[in-house]
Structure 1
């Protein structure tokens, strides 16, 4: 079966958000939103894969599946932590109020009951969905606090002697036509019993704030989240992941930021619902879901994870660069006539004015100090962003382009910006014009 070799997919059928990313007992664990019965969104389970290096993944049995009254229609996104050697998974438990008449896997009118739940595993491989789950935060009934349906995606961490949880939500003000995005914070002494402690809301940065993740890198507090309706001007997709440095006091969870503190996490707009964790060497690593509207012809899987990215902060600027476990694989240099895009390929180049690369029809250009990636010739789908451009850059820019089956990720100036695009399987044609230091590598 044709699949990406370096991008994690499900073994078969639907994949979306990364969940429960963790380095635990010598293994990297990647859980993910998964509908195991079709290549479309449906009743959510947690798929599970493990790896020694974030390069080679082994599929494990489904970790979470609906088994309780509160999660009978889905185990939505969440996170993982280690507590006294055990693996704690936190997730949003979903119960539909009604279903569509002809499809019980979909809620009618997108209305459902959301609560927060957890499950404990002794080893990270065995999950007793019947006996080891517990409901920890019931559905929110106070409209001033949060939303009954759209409160979800708990991310948990430990700080000093307490555990903390951030959850995304939204609220509706009487004087506003649109919802306001909101963060809710909870605290626990034992990682099992939780109390609400704080919140933050801001109007005008989309509305529902999915998959929030707050963490510290080099004394900078970084918030990543995925606001729904981030774009309302006709740009597709409307929901997008953003990243920014915020004011945050960890013990109280006092939070402050403005809309202008954020930028897109990935300019390609296929990248969504990213989550971070700490790798075995102490790096802050991020995976995101690369969205696909439909599967490639004659393929039985849909959706993939991005390459792992290391988040750093230099001079108050966030960079997200490809993880060294990936970049170090590309040591075999080849010439332009020997490209085979069915195998992972890395292109390294310096761009100057009027530089151009065509990768099987996928075009990267540098004009007027702006890099533009154009997939019109290789992925002409509806409701996607076919072109992506950077802000204005310096006179020369370094890029690393990672080509895997069905996807191209372009890292600009060591992660100053990233453009990731799903593409159709590519022809083995590579054309270049006006480039410096151009080299091609495979693994």
Structure 2
């Protein structure tokens, strides 16, 4: 039996043995994508192909730690209901034996093609990295076509996560990199045929003006056009915390500018964090047939106490965010829940006005809509949102799952608080502020029996609460 088949059978067996325990965990999500067992991290290959949305993901099926990653695979026709498909890639070849790392998907002709990084380590733990092509006729079964890019000079082997797109008759690829002097960078490649690639050089780096000392490694780059600007989204590692900014272990954000494709030069502005919560990393975008730029992120952060999350005892860890549309309004990126998310609503439970204080019971899969300004919101006696109108500072507090102490993340709103749209899903919280001006994405490991939502406001905002579906992911396509 081929090594690819051996690894697939072992992974399917792991899901068969552990899957029920995972699904029965009270923290397991109802409408967010999560691993059937083991560890999930970066979204990969995010694309709409032949009318179907495909989301691949970094997956370690055998344990809740990082290791030789597989590519798991979800599909959806409507972005609400999802199917877990057969495994797309296994670390079964010499060029990816220590992990099929992150990458992206494109359409060429009638084929779905994916580029990903093959991770290789020798007996002394020295790393090698390769950029690899695989392709599919049906979007389910993939054939690896081998190494297309080897490590250029002047970079360490931390050289990964290819994102590919077409422009002006050529294909382009950005790769997250670390230079030999241990500075984060994004590297640009160009190809006419997806086979032979030309190294165009560094597109941006940690000290490219107006940036200064922006980390020792940049992961998961994604460059796309939005509202007449070229947006580079990436996840830098090694930024020092600066008051209310950069408080997670690693960050995710974007710069805006203009890419000169002929010269391979990208002039851009300052770096802005994309999400203000505790867990958000490695987002990837795609353009769908409605013309929307849709982003999905990993609701986790590398090396940020992952092993201490309470789901680990039940054999799984991490989940994805909801898909979000991103828009450029003026100079700022806004993120908004897709209109399809309204299909998650089962019934409207509450429709009222808040006068002073309100305390009510909600389901652990709920949507909360607040039209107006609040002073504070307390969810399940675990997470608290506070607003200071004079400074326009919005702060999310939660109990740390490591030691129970209160930790917080904050932002300063450009406009006074006037709208909140909140998605609660067993152990996750996504708060869209002022119709997408800011977003807080976080895990909330509250007592599963606690369903109490408390809101305080002197401004009489409107409040609506819906119960949401909790059975949107099907496993029947996932087969041995």
Q: Secondary structure at the match of 2:310?
A: coil
Gaps of 5+ in 2: 1-23, 208-212, 351-357, 469-480
Q: Select 2:196's aligned residue among 160, 179, 193.
A: 193
For residue 377 of structure 2, the aligned residue among 347, 357, 364 is: 357
**Cα distance in 2, alignment partners of residues 243 and 319 from structure 1:** 12
Contact 1:45/1:66 (8 A) holds in 2: yes
Aligned-partner Cα distance in 1 for 2:192–2:345: 45
- Aligned residue number for residue 266 of structure 1: 275
Corresponding residue number in structure 1 for 2:141: 126
Tell me the residue number matched to 2:266.
Answer: 255
- Structure 1 stretches of 4+ moved >4 Å: 232-236, 382-385
Q: Write the mapping of 1:203-214 to structure 2, written as runs, cut at 5 A.
A: 203=207, 204-214=213-223
- Using the alignment, how far apart are the partners of 1:254 and 1:9 within structure 2? 38
Task: Tell me the TM-score normalized by structure 1.
Answer: 0.88
8 Å contact from structure 1 (residues 248, 255) kept in 2? yes
How far apart are 1:115 and its partner, in Å?
A: 1.4
- Asked if 2 retains the 8 angstrom alpha-carbon contact of 1:231 and 1:238, the reply is no
Post-superposition Cα deviations, 1:39-70, rounded to whole Å, max 9, x if no partner, equal 11111111111111222211112111112212
Q: 1:296 Cα shift?
A: 2.9
Q: Is the aligned partner of 1:65 residue 2:90?
A: yes
Decide whether aligned partners of structure 1 residues 393 and 370 sit closer, same or farther in structure 2, where only a CA change above 3 A counts: farther
Contact 2:417/2:433 (CA < 8 Å) preserved in 1?
A: no
Tell me the residue number matched to 1:181: 184
* Structure 1 residues 170 and 429, CA gap change in structure 2 (3 angstroms): same
Higher RCO structure, 1 or 2 (CA under 8 Å, sep 6+): 2
5+ residue gaps, structure 1, are 100-107, 174-178
Offset, 1:168 = 1.1
- The CA distance in 2 between the partners of 1:385 and 1:247, in whole Å, is 41
1:237–1:385 CA contact under 8 A, matched in 2: no
Offset at residue 256 of structure 1 (A): 1.9
- Aligned counterpart in structure 2 of residue 329 of structure 1, from 344, 351, 360: 344
The aligned residue for residue 46 of structure 2 is 21
After alignment, is 70-79 or 192-201 more displaced? 192-201
TM-align CA RMSD: 2.3
Structure 2 residue 37 is matched with structure 1 residue 12: yes
Q: Which residues of 2 match residues 383-402 of structure 1 at below 5 A?
A: 386-402=407-423
Q: Residue 150 of structure 2 aligns with which residue?
A: 138
Contact 2:67/2:98 (<8 A) preserved: no
CA distance in 1, matches of 2:431, 2:326: 16
Please say if residues 80 and 90 of structure 1, whose CA atoms lie closer than 8 Å, have aligned partners that are also in contact: yes
Tell me the TM-score normalised to structure 2 length: 0.81
Alignment correspondent of 2:163: 155
Q: Is the 2:334–2:436 contact (alpha carbons within 8 Å) kept by the matching residues of 1?
A: yes
Q: Tell me, in whole angstroms, the C-alpha distance in 1 between the residues paired with 2:319 and 2:183.
A: 30
Q: Are the counterparts in 1 of residues 363 and 467 from structure 2 also a CA contact under 8 Å? A: no
